[in-house]
Homo-oligomer: A and B are copies of this chain.
Amino acid sequence: MSFTPLSSKQTSELTGQLIAQGTIVDPKSAKGRLLKAAARLFRDNGFERTTVRELAKEVGIQSGSLFHHYASKQEILRNVVEQTILLNTELMQLSISQNQTSQDKLQALILCELQSILIDTGNEMSVLVYEWRGLNEHNQAQILALRDKYEQLWLDILNQAYQEGLITLQPNILRRLLTGAISWSVNWYNPKGDLSLEELAQMTLSLALKGKNN
């Protein structure tokens, strides 16, 4: 049995379910397009340097109208981040569940995270990393709780791999090294370049696995 990635059909079906449940907003709705635009602007220019006027212009409304959708600029930032974590947690859970061995599960985690950063929700993930301090304390705490759940998925797999002797570094430290290595890719990886996402995932996996199959 070998590694099974998520198909794009699975991804879109799960996304559809989450929209139907109301967990995340429909990206085609006004609120959804607003969040997408916000993520791009926040990523490109930073949260502070992005004005609500720019954001409003981007979605074709007046700045005052923004506040009918979200109570404040801060609330927009929170939603960008929150929805992204929720979505990616669900996607990752699904991807893990359809792989059996620890190594395949680990590969699933790495590929999922790279995909979220480099393809699907790259702007949003950048915002999460670089605009964290734009969130007020209350929102930071709230997001942290969601993030803990996401991280637990990683730690569970890494612990298992550690016990199996698949990895030798302590799981919590390895996770932190991987977090950095993966999230930094947003600053250099070119989706249209020679290196495929799967190759990058493979390379990243090879860092983690000591003297093993690759």
Contacts and interface: CB of A to CB of B under 8 A. Distances in A.
Interface string A185-214: 100100000010000100110111011100
Count this chain's copies in the assembly.
4
Interface in A28-87: 44-46, 48-49
Contacts of A145: none
Count chain B CB atoms within 10 A of each CB in A173, A180, A206 and give the residue with the most: A180
Contact of A45 (B133, B203, B207): B133
Nearest to A175: B188
B169 A203 contact: yes
Interface residues of A, number: 32
B46 A133 contact: yes
Given A133-B49, A195-B173, A184 B185 contact: no
A182 interface: yes
A201 to B, nearest CB: 12
A130 interface: yes
A169 B207 CA distance: 9
A46 B168 CA distance: 37
A185 B195 contact: no
A9 interface: no
Contact of A48 (B48, B173, B178, B183): B48
Nearest to A203: B169
Contact of A203 (B48, B173, B179, B188): B173
A153 interface: no
A167 B169 CA distance: 18
B46 A134 contact: yes
A176 interface: yes
B184 A179 contact: yes
Nearest to A179: B184
A144 interface: no
Interface of A: 44-46, 48-49, 130, 133-134, 168-169, 173, 176-185, 188, 195, 200, 203-204, 206-208, 210-212
